Amino acid sequence: MKTLEEIIAGVLTIDVKSVNDQTSPENTPGWDSFNSILLVSEVEKNFNVKFELDEVVGLKNVGDFRALLKKRGAF
């Protein structure tokens, strides 16, 4: 299983070391609406979870992804 950081770095083609809880579309080149959809899909697939639409809309940064995964028991 890939880590959350590895998934995000892979989708956004950035260095995994640069991914932290504050990484967001506002401070990460390449994190656009299309890649947001890919991120959600890859995270769901890798962690074997399904997010609700209202949960996805609330995802603003990597920390939000981590919190949602913890809420779902994926961590």
Residue 41 belongs to domain spanning: 4-71
Q: How many domains does the chain have?
A: 1
Which CATH number does the domain housing residue 34 bear? 1.10.1200.10
pLDDT reported for residue 1: 73
Contacts of residue 64, defined as CB under 8 A and 6 or more positions apart, other chains included, come to 58
Q: How confident is the model at residue 75, as a pLDDT?
A: 79
CA-to-CA separations, 32 to 24, 43, 45, 60, 73, in angstroms, rounded:
10, 16, 20, 12, 27
**What pLDDT does residue 31 have?**
97
- State pTM to two decimals: 0.92
In the predicted model, residues of the chain with pLDDT beneath 50 are none
| pLDDT for residue 38 | 97
